[in-house]
């Protein structure tokens, strides 16, 4: 099941974010850097204002592929492929010692969670004011 989920995640990410690195040049986009270690993100809660964001996910010495998913808080634990913000996935698996970008995500006021479905990590709060 995890292998199927991983395959679906990467297909979705590649399809929706094939130009993620080029998108970092888009105007009015704020880059948020999230570093993952074994089983957790170093930044464990985010509070942002509404706007456009791109997430740079860094694999800090984890011996497996990593990624990023963002869901509305009320969808936490629901079917990720149906409820995750599509452009929030990283453009590729994040290999050990590497970094990858998500697509550009327009976050509106509300409560979200972010996590790594591959590592796996806890759900972390992302509040948009």
Give 49's pLDDT tier (boundaries 50, 70, 90).
Answer: very high
Distance CA 109, CA 26 (A): 21
Given this model, what pLDDT does residue 25 score? 60
Q: Could you give the number of structural domains in the chain?
A: 1
pLDDT tens digits, residue range 20-44? 444 456 789 999 999 999 999 999 9
Give 78's pLDDT tier (boundaries 50, 70, 90).
Answer: confident
CA angle 22, 47, 73 (to 5 degrees): 90
pTM value? 0.79
Q: Residue 77's domain spans which residues?
A: 2-128
Query: Which CATH number characterizes residue 24's domain?
Result: 2.60.40.420
Give 91's pLDDT tier (boundaries 50, 70, 90).
Answer: confident
SS (H, E, C) the chain: CHHHHHHHHHHHHHHHCCCHHHHCCCCCEEEEEEEEECCEECCCEEEECCEEEEEEEEECCCCCCECCEEEEHHHCCCCHHHHECHHHCECCCECCCCEEEEEEEEECCEEEEEECCCCCCCCEEEEEC
Given this model, what pLDDT does residue 24 score? 52
């Amino acid at each position: 099941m995890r292998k199927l989920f991983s395959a679906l995640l990467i297909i979705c990410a590649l399809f929706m974010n094939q130009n993620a690195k080029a998108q970092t040049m888009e105007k009015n986009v704020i880059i948020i850097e999230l570093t993952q270690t074994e089983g957790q993100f170093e930044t464990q809660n985010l509070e942002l204002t509404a706007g456009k964001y791109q997430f740079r996910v860094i694999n800090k010495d984890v011996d497996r592929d990593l990624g990023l998913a963002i869901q509305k808080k009320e969808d936490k634990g629901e079917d990720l492929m149906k409820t995750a913000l599509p452009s929030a996935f990283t453009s590729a698996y994040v290999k050990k010692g590497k970094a990858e970008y998500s697509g550009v995500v327009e976050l509106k006021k509300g409560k979200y969670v972010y996590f790594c479905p591959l590592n796996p990590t806890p759900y972390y709060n992302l509040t948009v004011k």
